[in-house]
Amino acid sequence: MEKLAKSLVVVLILLVVAVPLLGRLTTSQPEIVELRARMPENGGWSQEFIYGQVDVPIKLRMTSDDVVHGFALGQSSQPSVEIFPGKFSNAELIFDQPGEYTFYCTRWCGANHWRMRGTIVIEGPTTADQPTSVPPLFLQLGLDLDAPHLARVIPQNRPDSARARARANALPAGLTDGDTIWSNSPEALWIDLKADEALDDQVIWDMVAWGLNQQGSPGWLEQGRELYTQNCLACHGESGKGDGVMVRDLPPMNHDKMGSEATRPPDFSDPAVLLGASPALLEGKIIRGGMGTGMPYWGNIFTSEQIRSLVLYLYRFQMELTEKP
Amino acid sequence: MGAMEKAASYRFDLTRYAWVRRLLTSRWPQFILRAVTLAGFMLVILTGFIGSPVGSRNFAVMFVWIAWWSALKLIMLPFGGRVWCSICPIPMPGEWLQQGWLVKPGGKKFNLGLRWPRRLRNTWLQSAGFAAIGLFSALALTTPVVTAWIFVGLIIVAVVVSVVFEQRSFCRYLCPMGGFIGLYATMAPLELRPQPDLTSVEKGAAVREWPRGCPWINNPAALKANANCGLCLECLRTESGESMALNARSFDAELGQPGAFRLDEAFLSLGLLGSVMIYSAVFQGPWGALKNAALYAGSPAWWGFAAFFLLTSFGLLPALLAGVSALVRRTGNLGQPLQMVFTRFSRALLPLGLLSWIAFTVSFAFGKMAYLWPVLSDPFGWGWNLFGTAAVEWQPYLLNATPVIEAVLLVAGLIWSGRTVLKTAGQLGVRGERRWAAAPVLLFALAGTLILLWLLIG
Amino acid sequence: MTPTKIISALAKPILGLTLAILALSAPLPLPPTQPVERYFRVEASQFAYSPGVLQVNPGDQVTIDLVATDVVHGIYIDSYELQASADPGQTARLTFIADQAGLFRFRCLVPCGQLHPFMLGKLQVGPNLIFLRAVLLSLLGLLWVLWKKPLPTASI
């Protein structure tokens, strides 16, 4: 009788202890990487580095320990995967070139959301043709990203690229040259055009807007809007004023002294800010980040095409730009 | 006695049926249930430590704070009194060490057998334990690891106390849930009592035998109150077992009769009332600052919350009741000392406390019951699906009806306590035509009810 | 017992029950209100909504903009069974007609951290009738308790 009782207790306790251990052993597969997502305050990704080989699939099994996260690969067209607390999501990655790739979190998980990144290190033989990497335009031009760039010439009304379209035949040739547009601020373009053309100030601003608009690749507006909404809005705000929910407690930006402490973003609704910045400058800031001001660096997250769409989208805070100019 | 009084004191002896008595005296049903709860206890500790940190996907949080705690307050306590204590696994390892055997007492003992210190033979330590858990409740209810640590702490303390002290001293004097369960068991419709027709000879014989046989350190022959009887049923299994009966009774059978109530019990009664108000504000209110203060243990806001919790529950409420008791004592020209008036009125407020806790549970738990299904299939939160219920989505259960249910419960508690307050006033000496002298205490009960109504459905 | 004794014994409980039922169900005289359009900007943070209590009248067209300020939050309104979720930077909008009167809690359905199960707010449509009725019932209950109940003689 006593033996029966003892065996019952032993069996029950063994069951309780053995089931999870057996479960762990039988369900864990060595080739699956278990990645846990946590807010950066709680540790961030459980693995900062994931190692793999060329052409060997990496299987990820992901879950979150606190809030909603997401997983995506930088500079990749693979769709992001949502990661819910307590639920498991899977992703399979395969790389055909060795190198370092960035993975990052795609759902806002607090003020440090953008820091939630990791690296996938792929080893293996390189194939013959590797595209040579071109340095970004701001480096080629030697731009000082932290120098003040407030415009002094301001348009009376919002520049409208559609108004300029009506005079398409009379538009100067320089306005279609990509290098020119990307390397100069709208104010600089305006000053150049004003010197050559004897036209109304507003008309010239419209032409500058048209010139910028030409640089948009198909689908840029939607792409720019999506990127801005998912990545930038929370800090830069719905109207670009720099009043997003994430930066409420920060001091306002000082344009003269771009320091290295976190401040609010600049006010894009102020014409002086955007019109004095060349697309190359904006592209550079997006790529490099803010050196301690809190602006994240996106160089290894977005492709050049994405960044260009985003830059054009930013100008929409000051100009009317459309999908098909 | 009036018809109502007769009905209230009617007892139905369930053990008059031989099969009931056999079921209760056999050790197997209770042992099997306790073995299962012990396995559950171990599972809680295991899932708490190595399972998912997400509370709603972890067995530890869901089955302790939602399933067990709700079952305790909604079913076990109001209808069975201390019936959980009869199947609680916490004292089991200690008992095995004491008895030397798993099932039947007897055999080699690992036990010093010391008597619990006289000064601590009350509910002060239980109040302290309950308050301590209460201060960390926001953390414990949402963090599996904290729940696991609490359980580990409980079992270690229980084992140590069992080895040093006699019998179930842990259960009787130390268990944090024990104070809560014991006091509210006063209103339960179930009791274990000596047969009413015991002769004094039989009582005398029992007295000699039962102190050895009652692990809760009671004298069953003299048992008059539910608070300290843990329904372990050992007295039924002794040679004098026939002299004990398990009675079904009305809810008001014990509370309606005058009964002694110590100062520590009075403070616990009021402390529990204060606790349910604060729990309602923290967990069911819309005030984020209060929730964060309760969560971040160790922060300055938390210290403020802790001070507020303790001062209100164990300071302000007793002070207020003492004040109104003094008023009643003066206007009713009562001869008893203030302490007695105070403690008796605290006892009369027990129904309000119990029904408030039930109403709070309805508000708190119904919205979370649906998470139990996925956790059954995936107790560790590792992505398992043992019973196929892992993907069951959340849905609201009865959320439309809960405000009405809570209102009815709270008003019922007020009425029950109100009647008991008047009875108590009469028992203390307030004469019939001066019943309004008891109004201050009734107003105290009304104020408490209104506060709870506002917090839960306001 | 004679019939009159039975009736007099039952009179008090029956009267009490009738009053209780009346208190719970009788229509209370309330000033009629015109439905209007209401807009609320509700900020959700860990772990509360701000404002936490929304007051509207029955029939109002209610628009709630959910603004998440730190992590992804959601909103689910009991009884109405409406839900939305918002990322910081992306406001979610819920528009509905408040056709059910009473007190409804809204809760966060997107796991947003430790106290997520207790992230609650209240939507009050019309006056809080159930609360008023409960208060009325409490007062009636106390009066009923006090009415002509013979107190036992002193025994302690």
Q: Give the tens place of pLDDT for each residue, B331-389.
A: 888 888 999 999 999 999 999 999 999 999 999 888 888 889 999 999 999 888 888 88
User: From CA B175, how far away is CA B279, in angstroms rounded?
Assistant: 20
Q: Distance from C35 to chain B by nearest Cα, in Å? A: 23
pLDDT of residue A169 exceeding 60, the answer is no
**Whether B106 and B228 share a structural domain:** yes
Report the share of chain B in percent with pLDDT over 90: 64
**Model-level pTM?**
0.91
Distances (CA, A) of C24 to B135, B398, B407, C15, C122: 37, 19, 10, 14, 22
What integer pLDDT is reported at residue A118 of this predicted model?
A: 95
Reduced to 3 DSSP states, what percent helix, strand and coil does chain A have, rounded to the nearest 5?
40, 15, 45
Q: Distance from A226 to chain C by nearest Cα, in Å? A: 11
What integer pLDDT is reported at residue A257 of this predicted model?
A: 65
Least trusted range by pLDDT, from A161-165, A306-310, C76-80: A161-165
User: From CA B417, how far away is CA B407, in angstroms rounded?
Assistant: 15
Instruction: Supply the DSSP symbol for B261.
Output: -
Q: What is the mean pLDDT of chain A?
A: 87
What integer pLDDT is reported at residue C153 of this predicted model?
A: 63
Contact A13 B42 (CB under 8 A): yes
Q: What is the mean pLDDT of chain C?
A: 85
Report the share of chain B in percent with pLDDT over 70: 93
On whether the CB atoms of residues B388 and C128 are closer than 8 A, the answer is no
- Domain hosting B412: range is 267-456
**Whether B152 and B276 share a structural domain:** no
> Per the domain annotation, does B253 fall within a domain?
no
- The phi and psi torsions of C83 (rounded to 5 degrees) equal -145, 155
Query: Which residues on C lie below 8 Å from A67 (Cβ)?
Result: 71-72, 111-113
Neighbouring C-beta atoms of residue B10, cutoff 10 Å: 12
Distances (CA, A) of B253 to A96, B188, B346, C148: 80, 9, 17, 22
User: From CA B288, how far away is CA B280, in angstroms rounded?
Assistant: 13
ipTM: 0.88
Query: Which residues on B lie below 8 Å from C119 (Cβ)?
Result: 288, 291
Last residue of a domain, one of B196, B218, B238: B238
Q: Distance from A71 to chain B by nearest Cα, in Å? A: 18
CA C80 to chain centre: 13
Report the share of chain A in percent with pLDDT over 90: 44
Instruction: Supply the DSSP symbol for A160.
Output: B
> Per the domain annotation, does B260 fall within a domain?
no
On whether the CB atoms of residues C99 and A95 are closer than 8 A, the answer is no
**Whether B287 and B199 share a structural domain:** no
- Superfamily of domain covering A31-123: Cupredoxins -  blue copper proteins (2.60.40.420)
What ranges do the domains of chain A cover? 31-123, 137-315
Segment A305-310 shows an average pLDDT of: 94
What integer pLDDT is reported at residue A229 of this predicted model?
A: 93
Contact C89 A67 (CB under 8 A): no
> Per the domain annotation, does B360 fall within a domain?
yes
Give the confidence band of B130 by pLDDT, cuts at 50, 70, 90.
very high
Contact C110 A68 (CB under 8 A): yes
Q: Distance from A153 to chain C by nearest Cα, in Å? A: 32
> Per the domain annotation, does B384 fall within a domain?
yes
**Whether B363 and B214 share a structural domain:** no
**Whether B114 and B24 share a structural domain:** yes
Contact B42 A16 (CB under 8 A): yes
> Per the domain annotation, does B262 fall within a domain?
no
| Triad C65, C68, C72: Cα angle to 5° | 120
Instruction: Supply the DSSP symbol for B117.
Output: P
**Whether B164 and B280 share a structural domain:** no
Residue C10 corresponds to which tokens in the numbers above?
A: 């039952």
Segment C63-80 shows an average pLDDT of: 92
Domains identified in chain B, total number: 2
Which chains share 3+ C-beta pairs under 8 angstroms with A? B, C
Give the confidence band of A195 by pLDDT, cuts at 50, 70, 90.
confident
Last residue of a domain, one of B238, B256, B281: B238
What is the helix (H) or strand (E) element at residue B159, kind and residue range? helix B144-164
**Whether B122 and B200 share a structural domain:** yes
What integer pLDDT is reported at residue B1 of this predicted model?
A: 46
- The phi and psi torsions of A305 (rounded to 5 degrees) equal -65, -40
Neighbouring C-beta atoms of residue B30, cutoff 10 Å: 19
Q: What is the mean pLDDT of chain B?
A: 89
**Whether B290 and B196 share a structural domain:** no
User: From CA B348, how far away is CA B183, in angstroms rounded?
Assistant: 11
Based on the number of CB atoms within 10 Å of its own CB, is A201 exposed (0-12), middle (13-18) or buried (19 or more)? middle
User: From CA B322, how far away is CA B453, in angstroms rounded?
Assistant: 23
Residues near A47 by beta carbon (within 8 Å), at least 6 away in sequence: A33, A35, A118
* Residue A231: closest C-alpha in chain C: C89
pLDDT of residue A106 exceeding 90, the answer is yes
pLDDT of residue A290 exceeding 90, the answer is no
Residue A165 corresponds to which tokens in the numbers above?
A: 């379209």
**Whether B180 and B302 share a structural domain:** no
pLDDT single digits (tens) A221-250: 999 999 999 999 999 999 999 999 999 988
Q: Which of B55, B410, B426 sits opposite C151 (nearest CB)?
A: B426
